[in-house]
């Protein structure tokens, strides 16, 4: 049976992320960076980028509250991309009884009442071949979809009702550790927060890597909006690692290139980076290195003409506890 769960923690998580960041991934332009910084203001852009890194890299570890009633299994955490992914991979369907119709596209749908108000509908669309190949998993083939629609859904009196939907489309699937999944959000959220846009999730079981490729994922909190077009990659092993790439957009709309000079190594206890370097570059060729340490970031500014290892300016950046 499909689980009856809801993303009531989504609002607090994304709202806090927006307030902390004030900016996000850039507009995906191919024209190069448009913004510039100097020795007196580079820390402002670096602060926004660092906050965005923290929101992306440690949100799972900081917001582990249980969501939904969990009556049909363990609670699912839909306030994070990881939680949405787990929710999708936990859904299951029974094979069609009519084998004559097995080669046709089949849909199954279940609507459940939320504890306090509204409903939650889960619809799966999939194809079943006439001859089942070895290793076939129903609902996990390329093109199979899971759509979750919330209609004024709240599980308790203190929750804001959630509306909208998200659709998960399988791009490829080997098993629950090796797959590609596209998640598309359509005005999913509450009256004060909504998510729109797409993120592609790629999991490689042999290496333990997970890549989130944001494709114009926009979160709107009241009158503030953040849009991401960057990619984040984490790798399991002795320590999880995260790498950022793409374009970063500051609060005033200026864009900067950001690239990972050294992957962030994430603490298993907190999810915060303990080492690693992320580089921001502006239109003039100036750069800022965001260097992760035990308690926070250090910002090193280099003018375009500075080819030495000594920064033009440096300062203590955002602390993880802030």
The per-residue pLDDT for range 46-95, each reduced to its tens digit, is: 998 888 777 654 333 322 322 333 334 444 445 456 666 666 776 665 55
Give the pLDDT confidence score for residue 211 in this predicted structure: 81
DSSP string, 98-131: -GGGTTSEEEEEEEEE-SSEEEEEEEEEEE--SS
The SS3 assignment for 92 reads coil
Tell me the residue range of the domain where 197 lies.
10-319
Q: What is the count of structural domains for the chain? A: 1
Which range is least confidently modeled, 102-116, 151-165, 189-203? 102-116
Residue 98 has pLDDT above 90, yes or no: no
- 164 Rama sector, left if φ>0, alpha if ψ -120 to 50, beta otherwise: left
- Is 116 buried (19+), middle (13-18) or exposed (0-12) by CB count in 10 A? middle
Instruction: Give how far Cα 300 sits from Cα of 32, 282, 306, Å.
Output: 22, 14, 12
| 4 domain-assigned | no
Residue 104 has pLDDT above 60, yes or no: no
User: What integer best gives the mean pLDDT of the chain?
Assistant: 75
| Residue 264 neighbours by CB under 8 Å, 6+ apart | 53, 57, 241, 242, 243, 273, 275, 276, 278, 292
| 3 domain-assigned | no
Residue 177 has pLDDT above 50, yes or no: yes
**pLDDT tens, position by position, 285-302:** 999 999 999 999 999 999
The span from the CA of 183 to the CA of 181, in Å, is 6
Give the pLDDT confidence score for residue 52 in this predicted structure: 77
Give the pLDDT confidence score for residue 311 in this predicted structure: 96
- The residue among 169 and 141 whose pLDDT is bigger is 169
Q: Tokens 């250090």 appear where?
A: 298
| 1 domain-assigned | no
| Residue 60 neighbours by CB under 8 Å, 6+ apart | 77, 80, 82, 83, 271
- Residue 27's pLDDT band (boundaries 50, 70, 90)? very low
Nearest to 177 by CA among 205, 140, 135, 209: 205
């Amino acid at each position: 049976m499909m689980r009856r769960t809801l993303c009531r923690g989504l609002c607090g998580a994304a709202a806090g992320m927006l307030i902390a960041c004030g900016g996000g991934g850039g507009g995906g332009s191919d024209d190069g960076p448009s913004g510039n910084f100097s020795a007196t203001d580079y820390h402002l852009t670096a602060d926004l980028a660092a906050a965005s890194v923290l929101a992306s890299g440690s949100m799972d570890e900081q917001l582990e509250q249980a969501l939904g009633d969990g009556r049909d299994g363990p609670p699912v955490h839909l306030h994070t991309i990881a939680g949405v992914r787990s929710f999708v991979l936990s859904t299951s369907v029974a094979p069609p009884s009519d084998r004559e119709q097995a080669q046709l596209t089949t849909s199954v749908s279940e609507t459940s009442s939320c504890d306090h108000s509204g409903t939650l509908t889960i619809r799966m669309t999939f194809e079943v071949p006439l001859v089942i190949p070895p290793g076939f998993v129903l609902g996990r083939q390329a093109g199979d979809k899971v759509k979750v629609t919330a209609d004024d859904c709240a599980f308790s009196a203190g929750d804001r009702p959630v509306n909208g939907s998200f659709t998960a489309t399988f791009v490829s699937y080997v098993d629950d550790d090796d797959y590609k999944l596209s998640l598309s959000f359509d005005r999913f959220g509450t009256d004060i927060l909504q998510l729109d846009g797409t993120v592609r999730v790629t999991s490689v079981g042999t290496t333990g890597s997970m890549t989130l490729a944001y494709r114009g994922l926009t979160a709107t909190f009241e009158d503030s909006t953040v849009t991401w077009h960057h990619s984040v990659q984490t790798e399991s092993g002795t320590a999880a690692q995260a790498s950022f790439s793409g374009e970063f957009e500051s609060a005033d709309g200026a864009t900067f290139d950001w690239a990972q000079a050294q992957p962030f190594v994430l603490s298993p206890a907190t999810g915060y980076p303990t080492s690693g370097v992320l580089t921001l570059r502006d239109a003039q060729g100036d750069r800022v290195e965001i260097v992760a340490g035990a308690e926070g970031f250090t910002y090193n500014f280099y003018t375009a003409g500075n080819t030495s290892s000594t920064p033009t300016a440096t300062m203590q950046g955002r602390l993880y506890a802030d």
